[in-house]
Structure 1
Amino acid sequence: MVTFTAHRRKPELVAPARATAREVRSLSDLDSSPGLRQYITEIEFFRCRVPGGAPEQLASSLKVGLAEALVYYYPVAGRLREVPGRKKLVVDCTAEGAVFVEAHANVRLEELKKPLVPPYPCVEELMCDVGDLTTVIGKPLLYLQMTQLSCGGVVLAIRMCHNVVDGFGMVQILRCILDLARGQPVPAVFPLWERHLLASSLPDTTSVPAAMAPENLPTDDAKPMKPKMTSMPPQFDELVTKSFLFGAKEITALRRGLPGRLGSSSTVFELITAAVWRCRVAALGYAPHKRVRVILAKNARGSWKREPRLPPGFYGNAVFGATTADVTADELCRGSLARAAELLREAKLKFTDEYAMSVLDLVARNEYRGADLFDGGFAVSDMSRCGNESLELGGWAEYAGGGTPGAAGILATLSSIYVSCKDTNGDECIAVPMCLPELAMGKFMSQIAAVTNMFASSSM
């Protein structure tokens, strides 16, 4: 894999282009979850399609777009504070601004990877340094690095505090920055805060105490609360990360592996996850009686049925690490692909408005722990439809791919975030990153190939 060094200019603090409201904004109970006290990243690649490369004023245009976007998304120009004694976060809308970094790297887009899927090479070179990723109090909430490549291509990496946005919201903000940088007069989608829609039913969980009025906010950098882990998985050496592509051919093959109505009604997410989960468990060689589970992230933007619904433009956290399918390793691996798909569907149906409210109540009481990832768990999240393929830098460039680089360290072995991509033929695919010990990775590759090949040749 290619290696390179990005040469960064000094970080700049970009303030909103015009005066914005000076106020304190409450976060939802979901936003304030201790597990979200970290920065998340989205990396997007753009290919140059005209001679001469990117316009000379690209960096200044992006800074203008960022400053304009912060007028609409003015809480993002503020800083997080913690409500004393309640371990709940609020945003102090101080208009202090966001960080922008211009960088250059002597590498061509074609050298990075084809197709452009995780793991991205030298990913740390493409992202702003935010320090401790789990320290969020009193720091900028948005960091944006623009890296110009020797071929004229550009890489944009946006890092944001997870308490303020989820992945879908982050892409919405990046789209706004790019649209305004190109001279669009207003955002295509106007942002809406509306965090009260995802508040607990318990009393007094969303109001800001008088002591937290802007003039009375504490200035000390409170220590973030970290989630407790009851058990740790075995430590592995020689971890390997690869992305597996599922295009039309693979999806059709998997669909053939399900009988009748189940095959025709199963979603692409269900088909891929059923296959990946079974193959992963088999590759890791769990004891037959060991209970294994897959944790499904559920986006309330599409499934929240309470009134009022989450409106277009909502950019807060709306993805619940929600329901689980639970079974013994033997039953999963010896069972059919259809059985795995049925388990997933049953788990998805558990996510109701009532279930979501119970999660919010537990979070508000600081009692929500979620499923244990460190004991046979595997978390999956679908970011393949977050809309990043519609990002535009201008007529001189075309979108080449990107998405989230995923979790780091041991957490990477316990989760996969699906992203959209194009294969080497230019066909649309879903990429599923998988991080496993080297020996298990070899087994997983054989397992997933066997599944897709078997059903591709089946007449079912």
Structure 2
Amino acid sequence: MVSFKANRSDPELVVPALPTPRETKTLSDVDTQPALRFYATGVEFFSRRPTIDGDDDHAQPEDAAKAVKAALAKALVYFYPVAGLQHLVPSKTLTLPTPWPLTDHDMVGEYFFFGPREIASLRSHARLHHGSSSSTVFELITAAMWKCRTVALGHAPDQRASLLITMNARGRWKCDPPLPQGFYGNGFVYLVVETMASELCSSSSLGHAVELVQKAKLDMTEEFTKSMVDLIALHGGPPYVPGWTFVVSDITRIGVDALDFGWAQRVGGGVPMVGDVKSKQVSYQMRCANVNGEDCVVASMFLPEPAMDTFAKEIFALSSEIDK
């Protein structure tokens, strides 16, 4: 394991490099959801490129931190609403959802890696017991973690186990009205999946869970997308029970792996287990590479410590090789 030392300094406010319009912009109904009112923190790692004579694009700055701050200040000139002040409009004041019934100190966060071997094992388990058809990596990992989390939390057999998936709607929203050019607000909707805990916790249930995830994705039509946006506008978010519902967000394709400063290229990073407790209710799936350079997915999980121990045993059993 690679270790390193980091010096943490006091936070600094970065403002736009040039004057920006003084105006009021209203957030969309999707952006004003109470469940989104938290700071999503992240840590990114970059590797310096070797300096090449005559190559100004890769010229090393004297102070990397100052260079990044200056670049952010320039970007905020164009994306100035991000640098603005936010306040609640009285008519938009909503009740925040109830967080986990446990305190932050009762919880632990872990990352779980899924490389080619682990994915192949999940696929074998799904096919062995349920004859599942082809499935994506996201479907396999989501189904496996949902199943193992339900087992770890000790759901009663007659209790409903819920899964909520945040799905990108940008590529699907091509009809009327289209998202405006340059729109950089949230463009996602929710898929809600439910089944009985008894059906999800059985030894042969992985294939069933995969099929439930697949069916939910197929139900995401243009009509469904508009209906979900209307639901969010009326109720401030999707119907789910915070802490018990398994919430998944796939950020493997948001493009962070293509971040490049010219003089430094991104080599890793993502959403760590820090920040507001509400952000920890979401299991993020992120891209990474293992020691062999193979593409992998790393998925976060946040659970009470005893449940985490059980979850780890369950997920390792599913992602281990089985006899063909």
For the aligned pair, the TM-score class normalised by the smaller chain equals: 0.7 to 0.9
Quickly say closer, same or farther: Cα 1:377–1:77, change in 2 above 3 A.
Answer: closer
Check conservation: 1:288, 1:328, Cα contact below 8 A: yes
Distance in 2, matches of 1:236 and 1:63, equals 32
Q: Secondary structure at the match of 2:302?
A: strand
Structure 2 residue identity aligned to 1:399: R
Does the alignment pair 1:11 with 2:12?
yes
Distance in 2, matches of 1:355 and 1:406, equals 32
**Alpha-carbon shift at residue 33 of structure 1 (Å):** 1.9
Does the alignment pair 1:30 with 2:30?
yes
Q: Secondary structure at the match of 1:274?
A: helix
Which stretch shows the higher mean deviation, 33-42 or 341-350? 33-42
Quickly say closer, same or farther: Cα 1:411–1:86, change in 2 above 3 A.
Answer: closer
Residue 296 of structure 1 corresponds to 165
Does the alignment pair 1:265 with 2:134?
yes
Structure scoring higher RCO (CA < 8 A, sep ≥ 6) equals 2
Residue 400 of structure 1 corresponds to 267
Check conservation: 1:254, 1:452, Cα contact below 8 A: yes
Output aligned runs, 1:70-85, within 5 Å: 70-83=76-89, 85=90
Provide the identity percentage: 39
Check conservation: 1:16, 1:74, Cα contact below 8 A: no
| Normalised TM-score (structure 1) | 0.60
Residue of 68, 72, 91 corresponding to 1:86: 91
Aligned length: 314
Residue 156 of structure 2 corresponds to 287
Check conservation: 2:32, 2:236, Cα contact below 8 A: no
Output aligned runs, 1:2-401, within 5 Å: 6-8=7-9, 11-17=12-18, 19-48=19-48, 50=50, 55-83=61-89, 85-87=90-92, 225-229=94-98, 233-234=101-102, 238-259=106-127, 265-310=134-179, 313-320=182-189, 322-334=190-202, 335-366=204-235, 368-374=237-243, 376-395=244-263, 397-401=264-268
Quickly say closer, same or farther: Cα 1:306–1:346, change in 2 above 3 A.
Answer: same
Quickly say closer, same or farther: Cα 1:288–1:7, change in 2 above 3 A.
Answer: closer
Distance in 1, matches of 2:253 and 2:11, equals 34
Structure 1 residue identity aligned to 2:249: S
Q: Secondary structure at the match of 1:365?
A: helix
Residue 145 of structure 1 corresponds to none
Quickly say closer, same or farther: Cα 1:281–1:10, change in 2 above 3 A.
Answer: closer
Residue 141 of structure 1 corresponds to none
**Alpha-carbon shift at residue 56 of structure 1 (Å):** 1.1
Quickly say closer, same or farther: Cα 1:313–1:256, change in 2 above 3 A.
Answer: farther
Check conservation: 2:34, 2:237, Cα contact below 8 A: no
Does the alignment pair 1:445 with 2:303?
no
Check conservation: 2:43, 2:271, Cα contact below 8 A: yes
Residue of 281, 288, 295 corresponding to 1:421: 288
Check conservation: 2:94, 2:236, Cα contact below 8 A: no
Check conservation: 2:100, 2:242, Cα contact below 8 A: no
Distance in 1, matches of 2:88 and 2:42, equals 26
Structure 2 residue identity aligned to 1:449: F
Check conservation: 2:35, 2:278, Cα contact below 8 A: no
**Alpha-carbon shift at residue 10 of structure 1 (Å):** 7.3
Does the alignment pair 1:433 with 2:308?
no
Distance in 2, matches of 1:367 and 1:72, equals 29
**Alpha-carbon shift at residue 49 of structure 1 (Å):** 5.2
Structure 1 residue identity aligned to 2:152: A
Does the alignment pair 1:457 with 2:302?
no
**Alpha-carbon shift at residue 338 of structure 1 (Å):** 1.0
**Alpha-carbon shift at residue 431 of structure 1 (Å):** 0.4
Quickly say closer, same or farther: Cα 1:409–1:308, change in 2 above 3 A.
Answer: closer
Check conservation: 2:35, 2:237, Cα contact below 8 A: no
Gaps of 5+ in 1: 88-223
Distance in 2, matches of 1:5 and 1:58, equals 14
Gaps of 5+ in 2: 52-58
RMSD: 3.2
Deviations, residues 401-440 of structure 1 (Å, cap 9, x unaligned): 1112256565466431111112233322110111222322
Deviations, residues 84-108 of structure 1 (Å, cap 9, x unaligned): x422xxxxxxxxxxxxxxxxxxxxx
**Alpha-carbon shift at residue 341 of structure 1 (Å):** 0.5
Q: Secondary structure at the match of 1:55?
A: coil
Quickly say closer, same or farther: Cα 1:226–1:4, change in 2 above 3 A.
Answer: farther
Structure 1 residue identity aligned to 2:24: V
Structure 2 residue identity aligned to 1:336: S
**Alpha-carbon shift at residue 384 of structure 1 (Å):** 1.3
